[in-house]
């Protein structure tokens, strides 16, 4: 299973929390973790050692600024918006699929069925957040002119068909679209505008559950998608919005304590890695 992240030094612990939740709740597989970054992360040794301890392979992908000399880059559109859209250009050619995950998600059930989703004929698989209907959806379709798409996809969980993406997704198309449009969520808007009709829809209540909207999910499911249902069936909780669960007293939602528990477990794992790195080597006694 190939996993993709794009982070800087602010979110390395959160990424490890995602990985920890995957290994604890998914059927065992070989995990290869690819992390796009603009420069080597300061905490690379801790990340690498923790991944090794968990039986994962860590692959940093460092993208230099000059890679985007032709791209529109401003304060509003930093070069990092291209990392997810153009990841296929920098990933090893032998990879056929990869699952991109934001660092603010949590895996609470087996992620394997999502990763194995049939992508025949599709560039991506993603979820449309429940509740984004009516006026908001119409405005997005008009704004992005993507009337053939099923809706507005959230790109925080994005399964990629790399073989087909390499054929159809081109940097110049993305650069041109950004030059000609004013975008609210740049990379997500581009994904929806240019490729929305080529995205396979997966259910958000399973694979991209907006942790802020538990009551909304429960209401639209006529009381089925309760907290107990989510714990049993949902695979990915997505802590969308500004108030992240790792910020002290900034998030008091019903799923915050669950995140904090996994974050704490990951912190303990990091301490164990640090202890193992500083522990003196064992003395080997030789026979007389």
With a CB cutoff of 8 Å and minimum separation 6, the contacts of 210 are: 129, 130, 131, 204, 216, 217, 238, 240
**Per-residue confidence (pLDDT) for residue 285, from 0 to 100:** 44
Q: Which two tokens stand for residue 23?
A: 């290994």
Q: Which two tokens stand for residue 151?
A: 């809706």
What domains can be seen in the chain, in order of their start residue?
2-272 (3.90.550.10)
**Angstrom distance (rounded) from CA 136 to CA 141:** 9
**Per-residue confidence (pLDDT) for residue 136, from 0 to 100:** 55
DSSP codes joined into one string, 25-71: HS----EEEEEEESS--TTHHHHHHHHHHTTEEEEEEE--GGGGTTS
**Tens digits of residue pLDDT in 237-248:** 999 988 899 987
Contact between 24 and 55 (Cβ < 8 Å) = no
Contact between 175 and 72 (Cβ < 8 Å) = yes
Q: Is 77 left (phi over 0), alpha (psi -120 to 50) or beta?
A: beta
**Per-residue confidence (pLDDT) for residue 140, from 0 to 100:** 54
| End-to-end CA, the chain | 51
Q: Which two tokens stand for residue 209?
A: 């559950």
**Angstrom distance (rounded) from CA 184 to CA 142:** 13
**Angstrom distance (rounded) from CA 91 to CA 100:** 12
DSSP codes joined into one string, 109-139: S--HHHHT---TT-SEEEEEPTT--THHHHH
Residues of the chain with pLDDT under 50: 132, 134-135, 138, 141-143, 147, 282-288
**Per-residue confidence (pLDDT) for residue 274, from 0 to 100:** 84
With a CB cutoff of 8 Å and minimum separation 6, the contacts of 172 are: 70
Place of tokens 């000399």: 69
**Tens digits of residue pLDDT in 114-145:** 999 999 999 999 999 876 454 455 455 444 55
**Per-residue confidence (pLDDT) for residue 131, from 0 to 100:** 64
**Per-residue confidence (pLDDT) for residue 35, from 0 to 100:** 98
Q: Is the pTM of this model over 0.75?
A: yes
What's the angle, vertex CA 139, arms to CA 137 and CA 144, rounded to 5? 95
Among 47, 224, 29, 225, smallest CA distance to 111 is for 29
Buried b (16+ CB within 10 A) or exposed e, 38-64: beebeeeebbbbbbeebebebbebebe
């Amino acid at each position: 299973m190939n996993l993709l992240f794009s982070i800087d030094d602010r979110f390395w612990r959160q990424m490890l929390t995602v990985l920890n939740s995957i290994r604890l709740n998914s059927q065992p597989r070989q995990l290869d973790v690819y992390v796009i970054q603009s420069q080597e992360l300061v905490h690379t040794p801790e990340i690498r050692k923790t991944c090794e301890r968990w039986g994962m392979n860590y692959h940093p992908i460092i993208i230099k600024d000059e890679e985007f000399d032709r791209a529109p880059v401003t304060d509003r559109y930093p070069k990092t918006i291209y990392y997810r859209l153009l990841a296929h250009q920098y990933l090893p050619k032998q990879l056929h699929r990869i699952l991109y995950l934001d660092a603010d998600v949590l895996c609470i059930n087996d992620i394997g069925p999502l990763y194995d989703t049939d992508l025949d004929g599709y560039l991506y698989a993603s979820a449309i957040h429940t509740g984004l209907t009516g006026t908001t959806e119409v405005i997005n379709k008009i704004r992005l002119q993507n009337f053939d798409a099923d809706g507005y996809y959230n790109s925080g969980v994005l399964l990629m068909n790399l073989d087909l993406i390499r054929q159809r997704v081109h940097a110049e198309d993305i650069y041109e679209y950004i030059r000609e449009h004013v975008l609210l969520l740049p990379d997500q808007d581009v994904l929806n505008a240019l490729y929305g009709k080529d995205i396979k829809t997966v259910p958000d209540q399973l694979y991209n559950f907006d942790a802020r909207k538990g009551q909304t999910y429960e209401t639209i499911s006529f009381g089925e998608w309760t907290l107990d249902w989510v714990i049993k069936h949902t695979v990915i909780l997505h802590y969308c919005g500004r108030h992240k669960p790792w910020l002290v007293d900034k998030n008091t939602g019903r799923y915050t304590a669950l995140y904090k528990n996994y974050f704490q477990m990951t912190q303990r794992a990091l301490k164990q890695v640090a202890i193992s790195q500083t522990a003196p080597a064992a003395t080997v006694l030789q026979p007389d």
